[in-house]
Amino acid sequence: MVTLMPVKFFVDKVTDDLYILRVDDAEVAYFEALWEIAEGVTYNAYLLVGDDGCILFDSWKARYADQLAETIRRVIDPRDITHIVIHHMEQDHSGALPEILRIADFRPEVLAHPMACQMLGSFYRVNAKVRPVHDEEELNVVGRRLRFIYAPWLHWPETITTYYADHGVLLSGDVFGGFSSPDKIFDDDEEVVEKYLPHVRKYFASVIGTYRQHVNKAVQKMAGLDIRVIAPAHGLVWRKDPRRVVNYYDALANGSQERGKVTIICASMYGECLHAARIVMNELKKRGANVKIYEFTDTSRPSISDLLGDVFNSEAIVVAAPTYESDVFPIARWIIEIVQKKIPSSKSVLVISSYGWGEQAGKKLAEMLRAAGHDIKDLLLFRGRPDSETEEKLREAANKLLSDG
């Protein structure tokens, strides 16, 4: 039985007129029904109280629509909302929108990317007032200066961010976000930040990874802004050191690696590949490597999203998988297909594969990873269980994996 943590709701001031409305979703087990997040995730909406109205930036998941309405009422009358900015139409941020429009008597004007304006009616069948905003467009809304900056493919094509110029706040949507429900709202506590950053990397790998080349473009577009606060749609708000999360994202996008870190991906039906993978693991640990191992067996099915987070900044990867029906073991193929799309190239790779009557799996895995730009240091194939000669070759291959460092 899985024990769920209680869902928590927060309201706090980011500036004297900007509020964060945060829900900690402890009920979700799979982000996007795909990525395992035992650590949970937050949905951050923001409410800007202006001179002659209020602006709501994004919303929450549909299941929390009533709670968002109540949270808004803790700050203002919902009928005072004159504008709603949609940074990204994915339903974890827009799902509560129909309810918010309803309690605001459908008076708010929705500001969004032109594509998102088209999606709104299709997603929710609501007849809302919409106004497309354009890249670098500046508007004075409720007496506040806003600049809208497109951030395409981070991680949908219609993603935008908003720069609230009066206070130097970048409301960044999914950009600069991360998984987990941090103990604090802001980045003021170093211990909280250090605990949070690995969840940012996991989020980046899972959600942003395929489109990582667009991160640098977005960062360059924002380079001239006086950013004093970064307020993303997931995770911590960065007010103590907003540059830290920008640099962290930039480094991930550029394929930054942790020297000496090796992630082992092992799929093993009856223990042969697992035995081989553990020989390599032990040899690497003797050399002082930071080894993470993910074992997919008849009793173990680890988190794919945790795996991606570790693979993302590893210096090297070990892939061990058996042949299955004259092909690659299915779960190993699926994982490596994801790695091909989401993980930066140029990692050192050792491929290990067992077989009974055909050697296809290991060769195909090596081809897949080579085609993605990784450096195949060695390919070890063995029939049945590794004998003493094969075990020695595994140790030699482990030493070769990081020998260039």
Q: Give the DSSP letter string of 137-179.
A: EEEEETTEEEEEEE-TTSSSTT-EEEEETTTTEEEEETTT--S
pLDDT 10s digits, 218-269? 999 999 999 999 999 999 999 999 999 999 999 999 999 999 999 999 999 9
Residues of the chain with CATH 3.60.15.10: 8-253
Query: Two tokens at 113?
Result: 């990317």
Residues of the chain with CATH 3.40.50.360: 258-401
Dihedral angle sign, alpha carbons of residues 28, 292, 210, 148? positive
- Report the candidate in 220, 279, 284 with the shortest Cα–Cα distance to residue 246: 220
**Which CATH number is 258-401's, of 3.40.630.30, 3.40.50.360, 1.10.600.10, 3.40.50.1110?**
3.40.50.360
What is the CB-side half-sphere exposure of residue 133 using CA atoms within 13 A? 28
Q: What is the pLDDT of residue 2?
A: 43
Contact 393, 381 (CB under 8 A): no
**What region, left, alpha or beta, does residue 342 occupy, with left being phi > 0 and alpha being psi -120 to 50 degrees?**
alpha
Dihedral angle sign, alpha carbons of residues 113, 118, 121, 127? positive
Contact 108, 101 (CB under 8 A): yes
Tell me the C-alpha to C-alpha distance, in Å, between residue 214 and each of 59, 169, 254.
25, 21, 11
What is the number of other CB atoms lying within 10 angstroms of the CB of residue 49? Answer: 16
Tell me the C-alpha to C-alpha distance, in Å, between residue 33 and each of 30, 92, 303, 307, 361.
5, 11, 13, 17, 29
- Which residue's entry shows tokens 């993302």? 312
Query: Two tokens at 58?
Result: 């994004």
pTM score, whole prediction: 0.95
Q: What string of pLDDT tens digits covers the 405 residues of the chain?
A: 344 567 899 999 999 999 999 999 989 999 999 999 999 999 999 999 999 999 999 999 999 999 999 999 999 999 999 999 999 999 999 999 999 999 999 999 999 999 999 999 999 999 999 999 999 999 999 999 999 999 999 999 999 999 999 999 999 999 999 999 999 999 999 999 999 999 999 999 999 999 999 999 999 999 999 999 999 999 999 999 999 999 999 999 999 999 999 999 999 999 999 999 999 999 999 999 999 999 999 999 999 999 999 999 999 999 999 999 999 999 999 999 999 999 999 999 999 999 998 888 999 999 999 999 999 999 999 999 999 999 999 999 999 998 654
Query: Two tokens at 362?
Result: 């290991």
What is the number of other CB atoms lying within 10 angstroms of the CB of residue 285? Answer: 13
Q: What is the pLDDT of residue 1?
A: 39
CA dihedral 215, 237, 71, 13 (to 10 degrees): -130
Mapped onto helix, strand or coil, the DSSP state of residue 209 is: helix
Tell me the C-alpha to C-alpha distance, in Å, between residue 42 and each of 10, 13, 91, 111, 183.
10, 17, 13, 23, 11
Query: Two tokens at 273?
Result: 């590949």
Omega cis (within 30) before 155: yes
List CB contacts of 320: < 8 A, sequence separation 6 or more: 264, 265, 266, 267, 268, 273, 274, 276, 277, 280, 351, 352, 353
**Radius of gyration over every alpha carbon of the chain, rounded to an integer in angstroms:** 24
* Cα distance between residue 108 and residue 115, in whole Å: 19
Query: Two tokens at 356?
Result: 């009974």
CATH number of 8-253: 3.60.15.10
